[in-house]
Structure 1
Amino acid sequence: MIGRLFALIRKEALAIKNDKKSLFVVIVPPLIQVLMFSFAATLEVKHIDLAIFDQDGTHTSQELIQAFKGSPYVQTLLRVHHQDEISELINTQKVLAVLVIPSGFGKELLSAKANVQLLLDGRRSNTAQITEGYLSSIVQTFFLSKQPTSSAVSIQTRFFFNPNLSNFWWIVPNLFGTITMVVAMLLTALSIARERELGTFDQILVSPLRPFEILIGKLVPALLISITESLLILLAALYLFGVPLMGSLTILYTGVIVFLFSISGIGLFISAISNTQQQAILGSFVFLLPSILLSGFATPVENMPSWLQPLTALTPLKYYLVLIKGVFLKDISWAIAWSQIVPMFCLGVIAMSIAMIFFHRRSR
């Protein structure tokens, strides 16, 4: 029995060794992912974009501003000169937080009754909470340096778009993107590979259909199923988890269709270069895992190293998450929506073009 078992083990090892594509997929990408994930999957908040609205204009308020400038956590510090600028900066995600120093701050500090207001972007609830802790600590340290015997400083905190920091308001829109991505990716990645594995691929090639028409035929059913899946998730988000839908359904589903088109293009490319369904599944997860981490799903893109951030522009999920959270929580306009939809569409066109090239070569 041991001899037969050893022979089977040897046969399986040789099969894996001879399958060069699968061997490459199970060895090289994990090593790359370990390096990438170590930098991308971090819960630290090191690069805070902060704006300060100084209504006091005294030497004391300038000292507080200098305390923020010297902090290793603050990446950029913008000065706000009018109340209306605050909403614009947070709406467009140019800053994560705004510190408001009220008039009379310097005098109130002398009487140990000083107060400041901290406004944060609640769409990134976890990051906003960590940022609140960092910035509050800086304010408290500054106050104690001026009034070491008192702790009467008041920090009034307000979170835009998610005032109660509900976890559902943050995680459900993110899942709205990632789950539909997984469905669309697997459906398209398995489509052509399944035909090859079952031996029906040659029958399709001898049909009157051109390669482009075959790809469209594989694309449309996957799109329809994924859109239906997204509708079910949307209903669960609204009626089960109570996530508000502040924006337009038209904008939302324009983004959904374009996003699924781009993901399906990548899935068809993976399927075009795969000989078996196993290779297609492995190829899909090689793309899915980095895509989720680099999209800002769990940790902000701004916290990633500068050399890694340009890679995030290559994943459609990054733009999609910005779009759907904007539609769900803040009623974004078409102008803002197009800034996210156009890059997704371009990535989809590129992916479909590459899939067409490889499909055409493999079908000869």
Structure 2
Amino acid sequence: MYQLLALIKKEFLAIWSDKKSRAIIIIPPLVQLLLFSFAVTLEVKNISLGILDRDNSVQSQELVRKLSYSNTFTQIYRLQSEKELTHYIDTQKVLATLYIPQNFSKKLDSGEPTSLQIIADGRKSNTAQIAQAYIQRTFLSLYPSNDIMVNRNWYNPNLDNFWWIVPNLMGTLSMIIALMLTSLSVARERELGTFEQILVSPISPTVLILGKTIPPLIISMIEASVIFFAATTFFGVPFMGSFALLYLGLFAFLLSIIGLGLFISSISSTQQQGILGAFVLVVPYILMSGFATPVENMPSWLIPVTDFISLKYFLLLLKGVFLKDISFEIAITLILPMFALGIVSLLFASWMFRKKVT
């Protein structure tokens, strides 16, 4: 324990005394949070749509057929009840649902204004808004004289873009901080010539890997807390869920990232190599996590690869605890894969350290 505490203290001092590391944990996260919150936009396609048709008339079937033939809606689910409608949105199986009331065809035949209801997942504010526009356009192309439609957005009523992008930024910026700190850790020791001294010391590989893991874990969690404070205070993003689930998920996610960072650092001879290795990992992690574009937009052969990207699970968890009081049963299905990926990545990093020791 004394060796571990001494190593943790040394890591904190090394991070703070190094100008590169100090700059990484202070300046970029705040600047990126501010810029990306306003800059990120999306293109929407391959939308999954649920339809609850209470009318089952020729007119309603024609509307459903028109939507199913559209290139925009690639999956149409025929729902049987309001409970099923709620389940499909809660589990993010559909982006939006269309509710067709029983008197739909009757009002059309009598020339009365007809109202439909669109219930969209407000956790994806931009895509939900575009999906609503597509449904409205399809409806009006069939029945131009009826322009009354009731729209509701669950979890993000006004489709505020900050409510969507800021939780995503909390996940990605936390990842970047943890990855950069750990990818420079061993490489910095090599450049300073202290890594060889650690290897010949009586410190075991287990204590060494723990000493390299705990400091960036603590720093990253503090940074994530700062971003959380900015999200709820300055950007007005509501927090509806559990702090325990949020920080349990954050802990599992950071473990998976720190393990990858330590693995990169253990095979890097210089800090420049460590930064390049982290950059190679960051780009596919962000692009394939669902941060900017839906995972469903990817080719079918590529989608299974995203199951090994912990950021995908963390982003789903963040939007669940921020915008919806996500249940423990749903949250645990996202947290456990992150823990598993964290254990595997730390084992790989530990294996590399043991190779260096032996």
Q: CA deviation at 1:209?
A: 0.9
Question: What corresponds to 2:143 in structure 1?
Answer: 143
Change (3 A) 1:255 1:95: same
TM-score, normalised with respect to structure 1: 0.84
- Cα offsets for 1:41-61 (capped at 9, x unmatched): 994433111111111121211
Using the alignment, how far apart are the partners of 1:183 and 1:119 within structure 2?
37
Using the alignment, how far apart are the partners of 2:165 and 2:41 within structure 1?
17
- Cα offsets for 1:301-360 (capped at 9, x unmatched): 112221221221121110000001100110111111110001111111111111122222
- Cα offsets for 1:61-101 (capped at 9, x unmatched): 11111112212222221122222222211111011110011
Matched, 1:205 2:211: no
Aligned partner of residue 77 in structure 1, secondary structure: strand
Question: What corresponds to 1:19 in structure 2?
Answer: none
Q: CA deviation at 1:213?
A: 1.4
CA contact (8 A) 2:97 2:119 kept: yes
Matched, 1:330 2:300: no
Structure 2: runs of 5+ lacking an equivalent: 1-39
Using the alignment, how far apart are the partners of 1:191 and 1:290 within structure 2?
22
Using the alignment, how far apart are the partners of 1:304 and 1:156 within structure 2?
32
- Cα offsets for 1:120-164 (capped at 9, x unmatched): 1111111112212222221111224xxxxxx33322111110001
Aligned partner of residue 93 in structure 2, secondary structure: coil
CA contact (8 A) 1:44 1:303 kept: no
Question: What corresponds to 2:10 in structure 1?
Answer: none
The one-letter amino acid of 2:62's match is E
CA contact (8 A) 1:273 1:359 kept: no
The one-letter amino acid of 1:76's match is Q
- Cα offsets for 1:96-129 (capped at 9, x unmatched): 1100111111121231522211111111111112
The one-letter amino acid of 1:246's match is M
Question: What corresponds to 1:131 in structure 2?
Answer: 131
Aligned partner of residue 143 in structure 2, secondary structure: helix
Using the alignment, how far apart are the partners of 2:50 and 2:241 within structure 1?
26
Structure 1: runs of 5+ lacking an equivalent: 1-40, 145-150
Question: What corresponds to 2:50 in structure 1?
Answer: 51
The one-letter amino acid of 2:128's match is A
Question: What corresponds to 1:70 in structure 2?
Answer: 69
CA contact (8 A) 1:227 1:256 kept: yes
Using the alignment, how far apart are the partners of 2:210 and 2:323 within structure 1?
34
Question: What corresponds to 2:12 in structure 1?
Answer: none
Greater C-alpha Rg: 1
Question: What corresponds to 1:192 in structure 2?
Answer: 186
Match runs of 1:333-344 below 5 Å: 333-344=327-338
Using the alignment, how far apart are the partners of 2:149 and 2:101 within structure 1?
11
Q: CA deviation at 1:167?
A: 1.5
- Cα offsets for 1:245-266 (capped at 9, x unmatched): 1011001000011111110000
TM-score, normalised with respect to structure 2: 0.86
Question: What corresponds to 1:80 in structure 2?
Answer: 79
The one-letter amino acid of 1:278's match is Q
The one-letter amino acid of 1:279's match is Q
Question: What corresponds to 1:168 in structure 2?
Answer: 162
Using the alignment, how far apart are the partners of 2:41 and 2:247 within structure 1?
31
Using the alignment, how far apart are the partners of 2:45 and 2:222 within structure 1?
39
CA contact (8 A) 2:289 2:312 kept: yes
Matched, 1:254 2:248: yes
The one-letter amino acid of 1:240's match is F
